[in-house]
Each structure stands twice: as structure tokens, then as C-alpha cells.
Amino acid sequence: MAQPQVDTASEHLNGGKKPALRIEHLSKTFPGTRALDDVSLDAYRGEVLALLGHNGSGKSTLIKVLAGFHRPDPGAEAWLDDDPLRLGDPDDAKRHGLRFVHQDLGLIRELNAVDNVALTIGYVRTRSGRVHQGVQVSRTQELLAQFGVELDVLQPLGDASPVERTSVAIARAMWDWDQGPRVLVLDEPTAALPSREVSRLFEVIAKVRAAGHVVIYVSHRMEEIFDIAERVIVLRTGRVVGRGLTSDQTPAKLAALIAGHSVEDGRHIGSAPPLGGVALRIKGLHGRYLRGIDLEVHRGEIAGVAGLLGSGRDELPYAVAGAVPSSADAPWVLDGREVPTPTSATAPGLGIAFVPAERDREGLVPDFTVAENLTLGALPELRERGMFLLPRREHNQARQWLQDIGVGAETADRPVTSLSGGNKQRVLLARCLYTNPSLLVLSEPTAGVDIGARQALYELLRERARLGLSILLCSSDTQDLVEACDRVMVLRNGQVAETMVGAEINAERIVFVMESVR
Amino acid sequence: MSQAVRDPDSVASASAGDEDRGQSEPGALGRLLALGRVERLGAVYVLIGIIILFSVWKPDIFPSWTTAKSVLNQNAIPALAALSLVVPLCTGVFDLSIGNVMALVSVTIAWLVVQLGVPIGVAIVIAIAMSMAVGVLNAVIVVVIGIDSFIATLGTGAVLLAIDYLISNDETVTNGHLSTAFGSIAQSSVGGVQVPVFAVLVVAVLLWWLLEHTVTGRRLYATGFNEEASRLAGVRTKRLRFLGLIVSATVAGIAGLLLTSQIGSGSPDIGPAYLLDAFAAAFLGATQIRAGRFNAPGTIIAVLVLGTGTAGLTIVGAQAWALSLYTGVVLLVALALTRIERKQVRAGRTLT
């Protein structure tokens, strides 16, 4: 597990400049996982620092610590212009001029730019206490003009373009930027932007940089880094694995750093060749992001799907499970039979089981016990004589299943919310598996699941595949794809950009292909 | 067999749990004891407390079979109204139109029997069919069109009220035939306990069976707790919500029918008064037996707590404001206690 620390540029290659934001020895431990491990970070005025890393790399934990949402483990130190910064204290972060624009922007789409801005910076009132609408409007216009944003400030932001909304969010976060130095943290601002709008966003960011503020820029898209960032820092499993000037880097080098080499270790090579014929064949699958994907999953195969947000990777599992509407050029072929496009109600009957991405929101019923969550998918099988559900029989079955999947029979009557992420995922998997599906569709199966539990999940999936289950595994975590899958399709712009089979599957290549623009 | 299967070694990953559950499978006695825990049956203890209080206060009047019978007879209709709400509430749907459905059935029967001279049996069939039709209308608006149930059923309720006034001309309608022949349905009794009480029992048992012992019942709860997860697990959540609104309208229709029979006349004003107490009982009932879940036995207990307390207060000569205060305080205290308890449970058990 020994990881060579790949410092691609020494910290002193900074032209004698002094970092404005300095963080040292930052660790953050959650029960069961170490999200950040002795991270240090330097960011300079008038520069953009790109923060890279995949899901679970600790990126978002780092941002949350900066914002004061998480308290770091003792020993962490931070300074802003030599002034100590108390990490984990939201008020102190605000006082030091740390400003955040999160991925969802935090704007209210029903309100216009004037009100959205005023919610943060306050309203101008007349003496009688009325909102001074005229002053308010001109103040908002002036603020947006400073960032080169032109839009109708009186129309609801829902009608504005995505890049305009992002710009408004940035302007709102930096509204008092002329009153002192600021640190602007942008969390994947381009994730939801069409690529042609990215350059407009970069003009806004360039203005912030030119004014001498610090910008920390989190992104998945490789090309952008080279366009906008002076420096780059790469996190993997909570540790800094690379840092330095962007000009010293190449996309391939960064992809290697992000993906890491260690993933090769866990690789299961010699994956069994597909046992039988085609379990599922869809020709020309179209949806919101999907643009004519030809999908085939073989019997006994674990087929992986990679891709960035918006590439169709998120949508594909939902479309295959019938949870979102989709269209195809020809009827689906499932186990050799032509079937109508499933809905989530008909999918179980067709032998398609689904584990959705957001475990708590889309998977579990929080007010149900563990046993009730487990049996939700298999209720018809537990039914005896007409409509009766026998509590004793259901309970015994549930205990047996819980035992089998290693969650423990004694958890049956506990609230499902008391389980860990990994165990919740096992309960969901078991719910699916005990209906004996022919196709299992998984979306983000290891999100929030710690390392040890991951291996157990992979093992469970492989074992099921050996028994003939076909699995479609869609994940933003390359580790899942490399360690569990027999074949990986990389999606880009709603189409399959590349397919890798067996030993060709390689984390660097996956990252490189999905983050290319072509 | 698998009863005793509990291998402590194989559960290492998850058993960082806590608290009691030393014995894996409670026996019959254990289950009985568990059923009696305060968290599940708090209202029953309150009920016993109320009975003792008023028995000591008015020993000559309160503790009698007459009082018990009158509490049962007087609370049968409120109990039916409350039970009608249980199924839609399980699926997370409010039905605020039940009071007006009761009134609709009442004025329709009176109109058919008194004005048109329709035979009673036919009038009953028409009235129940009408209430089911209202259920379908509600379901189409809420489930198919997708308007929030709270505001949608408020709207249909207002429309129904208009129809009630149109049919009845805003007058209480009755005649000898209606008050005697039709009235005999609800006024006939077995040992002083009137027919509506038995109707409550039948409806409650049916609901209990549906919710506790059928697949549909489990899916109803799942739909209410997390619709998206249920839908993705293959549950036809829309169909269940549709069904729920039909059940509430139908049971409310039966309540309206029995109420009309009990008072022997049709009036547009009789239904809406039951709405708030019905919700109070359903929500108070959800804190009992199956804490956090709307259920039939809990609702019955809740109606009895509210009804017995009100009856006792009336006997000791309390004013109207005291009765309303009692209902409000019992409901709020029960909901607050449940909320606090659940917070503690969550905090204490969020381990592993």
C-alpha cells in the first residue's frame, strides 16, 4: 500500500511569492474512514488553484472544512496572510473573507437576480422601512457589471442561462470584494454547464483573479484546468498525491495522479468470459443526456459504465431500470425476448432489479425497520394464500437474509437509519438479489462505503455474476470499474466514447477518455 | 429452526449496536410485555387515568354502563370519520373533503327518500356510489393531475358543500318515513350498543388486516414514508394513492349514512364539524401501537381518549371551551412526546 508521494514540483518553485492561504497538517476522521490525511495546501493571490480528485478523494471534505461545516482533527493549522484561521468555524471563515459557490449555486430560481443578491447582502430600505426597489436594482446591476455579467436583473433566475446563474452566484459571493482580500472557492462550477458557456464563466473568474483574490477551483474536466489554473493540487484517498504548476503537467500525467496506480493491485484479471448469450440488448437508447447508445450486457458479465456528470452515466442506469422515460430505436431484447420499454413498476417482473444512486433518498424507507426495507422488493414472494403476509415468516426470512449478507440477524427490527453506509447498501443489494433478477442495475454502488466494505461488495457482485447474474454497474468511481468490471464503456456527451475489455481496463485511460473534450 | 439461528461471529461488521436485544426472539409473554410499553400504548394509560379521575370525581354518575354505552354510541361516527383518513394518510395524502362527503350523503339520502320517494335501499346504494365517485374525482385531481392533496381536497370540499346546499336548499330535510324506517338502521341496538359501533369495529378490523397483514398495506406505508424509493423498488405508488382517496370517501360516505340515520334527517351542516376531530384522532392514533404509523387500533384508542375525556368533562359541567381545550392539549402533547422520543431513539441508535 506504500504510495510514492509524487510531488511534481517542489513547494518552493513559486517565484519567491508568499502564499496567501496556507493549510498544514489537516486531517479529518469520520467513523470508519479517514477522509483527509495530513493535507497541506498553499494558494496564492491573483492565481487560480485547481483542486483535483475523484469521488472519495477528500476534495469535498476539504471544502467543507474550509467552510466551517466540518471540524478538522486536532493538529490542523491554517493562516490567511499570516493571520491564523480557525478551521471548522464558519464565522471565522466568513470573517477571513472565504467565499463559497457550491455546485448547486444556492440560488432561488423563482426569484430574480435582485432578490437573490439581496438575500445575501441585505436590502436597502427607505426611512419608512419599505424596500428601496430602485436603489436595489441599480446596486445589483452595478455589482453584476463589475463581473461583466449582463442580464435582466428583474427576470426570475430560472429563465437565465446556466452560466448566467453561475455568474450571479459568484458575484453574490464576492459582493464586497473591493473591501479586502477574498478567497473564492468554486466547487465544480462547470459540471452543469454546456462546454460553449465555459469560456464565459472563465471571463468572470479571470476578473476575480485579476483583482488579486485567491481562487480555488474544483473540477473534473481536465482541459479546463490548463485554461484557467496556474497551480494544481491532486488528492487521492485523502492524501495529497501531486501538486505544482499547471504548466509542468500534461493531461495524461494528471489523469495518472487522480486515478493512482494502486488500483491495479486489486484488479481481478482473467475475468470469466461471458457465460451465455446476450442478457440485454438495447439499440439507440435516447434520453435526456443519452444520445443513441447501443447497450449490450451478457449473461454473467459485470459491465461497467464510466463518464462525467452530464455524459449520460447518471441517466443510463435509471433508463435501463425504467425509472426515467427513454426511447430506443428498436424494442429492447431481454433474455432473447422482445419486451416493451420497462417502467419502474414493470421492471421487477421483467427480472430487472435496481439499486439507485442516492441510497437514503431513493433507496431506503427511513421509517421502516431493516427487515421491512429488505423485504420491500420481495413482498409478493413472501405472500401466502392470496394476499396474506405472515409476519413470522417474513421476519424469519429477513433474519436469514441479513445473516447471509453479513449485516447480522439481530439488526432486523432496528431502524434502518442506524446502519452504516456499507450495510445500508448491502440491505439494498439483498432486496434486489432475493427476487432472483436476471439483470442487476447499480448506480454509484460504493458512494459513502468505506474501503473494507467495498471489497466485500465487489466480492458479492462477482460471486453473483459467476452464478449467471448480469450486472450493469454505473459509477463515477474508477475503482469500482477497474476492480469489479469485465468490460467498461466510457460515456461522453451521451455516447459511448470507448469500450475496454478485461485487461485493457485501466483507470488512467478511463479518466483520460471521459475527461477529453473530443 | 431459523428461530434460534444467531451466530454472533458472522455479524462482526454490523453488531457494533447497542442496547437490550440480548434475547433474539421474544416469546409470547415477551411480546405481550413489549406491546404494553408506554411508548406504544401511552394513550391507554391516559384513558385509564381519565376513567379513574372522573370515577372518583363523580362516583355516582360516571362509572356506569350507561356512561360507557353513551361514550361508545356517541363516538362511533367520529371514529368512522377518523378511520376514513387512515389509508390516505398512510400514503402521505390528506383528504380534507370527508366532512363534506358525509354531508353530501346525508342530503342526498334525505332528498331521494323525502322528495322523490325512492326506496331506502336504492337511496343507500346511490349515496354510497356518489361518495365513491367523489373519491375518484379527488384521486384524479390529486394523483393524475398532480395537485397537492391538501389544497385539492380543500377545493373539492368547497364544491361539494355548494352541491350540498343546492340539493338541500340549506334546510334540514326529514319526514316520518326517513326518521323512523331509515332511522331504525343506526338506532337499533344490541344491549344498548348501537349499530354504528359495530360498523366501526368492522371497518377497523378490515383496515388493520389491510395495513398489517397484506402486501398492499406494507406498500401503502412505504409510499407515504418515501415515495421515490418505493417507486424505484417497483411499488405502484400512484395506484395506491388513488386507492387511498377512494377508501376515505367511501368510509366517509358510510359515516354520513349512519349519521343521517342516527339523527333521522338530512342536513348539509352535519359533516364538516367532524373533520378536525377526525384528523386529531388519526394523528393521535399514529402515536399509538405502531408509533409513527397511522393505524386503525391506535385511531380507535385515540377516539376513546378524546371521547371519554369530553364525556367526563361534560358530566362535571365543564363549558364548551374546556372540551375544545382538552382535545387540543391531548393532541399536541401526544405529538410532542412522540417527536421527542423519536429524536432520542435516532440519536441513541445512530451507531454502527
Q: Which of B143, B159, B150 is nearest to B101 (CA)?
A: B159
Average pLDDT, chain A: 84
- Please report which confidence band the pLDDT of residue A150 belongs to, taking 50, 70 and 90 as the band edges: confident
B22 touches chain A (CB under 8 A): no
* Residue A442 with chain B: CB contacts under 8 Å: none
* Per-residue model confidence (pLDDT) at position B351: 35
The mean pLDDT of chain B is 85
Contacts of A414 in chain B (CB under 8 A): 17, 349
Phi, psi of A279 (to 5 degrees): -80, -40
Q: Write the CA distances from A513 to A494, A501, A504, A507, A509, integer angstroms.
A: 13, 15, 13, 10, 6
Q: Annotate B272-284 with DSSP letters as a single string.
A: TTHHHHHHHHHHH
Beta bridge partners, A234, equal: A52, A242
> In B, which residues are within 8 Å of A323 by CB distance?
231-232
Which 3 state secondary structure label does DSSP give A148? coil
Nearest of B17, B29, B35 to residue A410 by alpha carbon: B17
Contact A495, A311 (CB under 8 A): no
Minimal Cβ distance to A415: which of B7, B217, B349? B349
Helix (H, G, I), strand (E, B) or coil at A496: strand
Contact A366 B225 (CB under 8 A): yes
**Closest alpha carbon to A507 in A265, A260, A311:** A260
For residue A472, list its beta bridge partners: A303, A441
Which residue(s) pair with A511 in the sheet?
none
Per mean pLDDT, which of A138-147, B120-129, B168-177 is the most reliable?
B120-129
Q: Is the pLDDT of residue B20 over 50?
A: no
Q: DSSP state, A352?
A: E
Residue A388 has pLDDT above 70, yes or no: no
pLDDT for the residue A16: 59
Domains assigned to chain B: 43-347 (1.10.3470.10)
Would you say A356 and A365 are in contact if contact means Cβ atoms under 8 Å apart? no
Where residue A384 falls among pLDDT bands split at 50, 70, 90? low
In one-letter notation, the amino acid at residue B31 is R
Q: How many CB atoms lie within 10 A of CB A76?
A: 21
C-alpha cell at A252: 495524461
- Give me the mean pLDDT over the B123-141 stretch: 96
Per-residue pLDDT band at B295 (split at 50, 70, 90): very high
pLDDT for position B16: 35
Query: Do A406 and B235 lie within an 8 Å CB cutoff?
Result: no
What gap in Å lies between CA B310 and CA A34, rounded to an integer? 59
Check CB contact under 8 Å for B234 and A345. yes
pLDDT at A180: 85
Please indicate whether, in this complex, the C-beta atoms of B2 and A396 are within 8 angstroms of each other. Answer: yes
Angle in degrees, 0-180, between the axes of helices B237-263 and B65-90, rounded to the nearest 10: 150
In this predicted structure, the answer to whether residue B22 has a pLDDT above a threshold of 50 is: no
State yes or no: pLDDT of B72 exceeds 90: yes
CA dist A64 and A232 (Å) reads 19
User: Would you state the pLDDT for residue B169?
Assistant: 87
Among chain B residues, the shortest Cα distance to A371 is held by: B218
Q: Domains, chain A, ranges and CATH? A: 43-260 (3.40.50.300), 266-351+437-518 (3.40.50.300), 364-436 (no CATH)
- Those residues whose C-beta lies under 8 Å from the C-beta of residue B160, and which sit 6 or more positions away, are B97, B100, B101, B103, B104, B134
In this prediction the pTM is 0.77
Alpha carbon distance B61, B118 (integer Å): 44
Q: What is the mean pLDDT of residues A390-412?
A: 82
What is residue A159's three-state secondary structure?
A: helix
- Give contacts of A420 with chain B, Cβ < 8 Å: 14, 352
Does position A452 have pLDDT exceeding 90, yes or no? no
Cα separation of A319 and A337, whole Å? Answer: 19
Residues of A within 8 A of B215 (CB-CB) are 379-380, 382-383, 387, 389
Lowest-confidence region among A161-175, A423-437, A455-469, B22-36 = B22-36
The reply to whether residue B229 touches residue A362, judged by beta carbons under 8 angstroms, is yes
Nearest to A419 among B2, B14, B218 (CB): B14
Contact A115/A60 with Cβ under 8 angstroms? no
- Tell me how close the Cα of A404 comes to any Cα of chain B, in angstroms: 9
Q: Is B130 helix (H, G, I), strand (E, B) or coil?
A: helix
pLDDT value for A69: 87
A511 in B contact zone (CB under 8 Å): no
- Tell me: the pLDDT tens digits for A92-146? 998 889 999 987 788 888 899 999 998 888 887 777 878 788 888 998 999 999 8
pLDDT over 70 (residue A7): no
Residue identified by cell 445500508 is: A424
Using a CB–CB cutoff of 8 Å, tell me whether A321 touches chain B.
yes
* Residue A71: alpha-carbon gap to chain centroid: 22
Residues of A with Cβ-Cβ distance to B232 under 8 angstroms: 321, 323, 344, 354, 356, 362-363
For A403, which of B10, B216, B349 is closest by C-beta distance? Answer: B10
- Name, of B188-192, B200-204, B323-327, B340-344, the range with top average pLDDT: B200-204
Is A428's pLDDT higher than 50? yes
State the distance between the two ends of chain B, measured CA to CA, in whole angstroms.
28
Taking residue B45's Cβ as centre, other Cβ atoms within 10 Å add up to 12
**Cα–Cα distances in angstroms (integers) from residue B324 to residues A449, B96, B198, B281, B313, in the given order:** 52, 20, 27, 13, 11
CB B305 within 8 A of CB B43: yes
**Does B23 contact chain A (CB < 8 Å)?**
no
Per-residue cell: A111: 426569484
Contacts of A347 in chain B (CB under 8 A): 234
B300: cell is 380507535
Determine the average pLDDT of the residues in A447-474: 84
- The residue with greater pLDDT, B24 or A448, is A448
CA atoms within 13 A on the CB side of A449: 26
- Nearest 5°: the CA angle A58, A358, A278 is 105
Indicate which of B23, B215, B341 best probes the interface with A, i.e. most A CBs within 10 Å of its own CB.
B215
Q: Residue type for B46, please?
A: V
Query: What is the CA A15 to chain-centroid distance, rounded?
Result: 35
- Cβ–Cβ contact A287 with B under 8 A: no
Please tell me the predicted confidence (pLDDT) of residue A10.
Answer: 41
Does the structure show a pLDDT above 90 at A185?
Answer: yes
Q: What does the pLDDT look like over A243-255, one tens digit per residue?
A: 989 888 888 888 8
Q: Which of A345, A365, A409 sits opposite B225 (nearest CB)?
A: A365
Residue-level pLDDT at B156? 96
Res. A4 pLDDT band, cuts 50 70 90: very low
Is a pLDDT exceeding 90 seen at residue B221?
yes
- Give yes or no for a contact between B263 and A396, defined as CB atoms under 8 angstroms apart: no
- Return the sign of the alpha-carbon dihedral for residues B36, B38, B41, B47: positive
The helix, strand and coil proportions of chain B, stated in percent and rounded to the nearest 5, come to 75, 0, 25
Chain B, residues 284-323, CB within 8 A of chain A, namely 292-293
CB contact under 8 A, B21 and A413: yes
Residue A351, phi-psi category: left (phi > 0), alpha (psi -120 to 50), beta (remainder): left
The answer to whether B210 and B203 have CB atoms below 8 angstroms apart is no
Cell numbers linked to A27: 486531517
Instruction: Please name the member of A380, A417, A431 whose beta carbon is closest to the beta carbon of B346.
Output: A417
Could you tell me the pLDDT band of residue A326, with boundaries at 50, 70 and 90? very high
Nearest Cα of chain A lies from the Cα of B216 at a distance, in angstroms, of 8
Q: pLDDT value at position A184?
A: 94
Question: Is the pLDDT confidence value at A233 over 60?
Answer: yes
Residue in A383, A413, A418 closest to B352 by CB: A418
Q: Looking at the complex, does the CB of residue A362 fall below 8 Å from at least one CB of chain B?
A: yes
Q: Which of residues 177-216 of A touch B (CB under 8 A)?
A: none
* B chain contacts of residue A366, beta-carbon cutoff 8 Å: 225-226
Q: Are B17 and A414 inside 8 Å of each other by CB?
A: yes
User: Which of A55-64, B268-277, B341-350 ranks highest by mean pLDDT?
Assistant: B268-277
Locate the chain B residue with the closest alpha carbon to A352.
B234
User: What's the burial of A496, exposed, middle or buried (CB within 10 Å: 0-12/13-18/19+)?
Assistant: middle
**Nearest residue in A to B224, CA atom:** A365
C-beta atoms of B213 and A389 within 8 A: yes
pLDDT at position A412 is 86
In the A/B pair of chains, how many CB contacts fall below 8 A?
Answer: 138
* The residue count for chain B: 352
Amino acid code (one letter) for B261:
S
pLDDT for residue A284 is more than 50:
yes
Task: Kindly state the helix (H) or strand (E) to which residue A344 belongs, with its residue range.
Answer: none
Q: Name B344's Cβ contacts closer than 8 Å, sequence gap at least 6.
A: none
pLDDT value at residue B305:
93
- Decide if A336 contacts A310 (C-beta within 8 A): no
* Chain B environment of A400 (Cβ under 8 Å): 2, 5
More confident residue, B142 or A381: B142
Is A423 within 8 Å of B14 when comparing Cβ atoms?
A: yes
Question: Between chains, do B222 and A406 touch, taking CB under 8 Å as contact?
Answer: no
Window from A338-342, A509-513, B104-108 with minimum mean pLDDT: A509-513
Q: Give the pairing type, strands B189-190 and A337-339.
A: unpaired
Phi-psi region of A123 (alpha: psi -120 to 50; beta: other; left: phi over 0): beta
**Which of A409, A418, A456 lies closest to B351 in CB terms?**
A418
Percentage, residues of chain B above pLDDT 90: 58
The three cell numbers of residue A196 are: 460553449
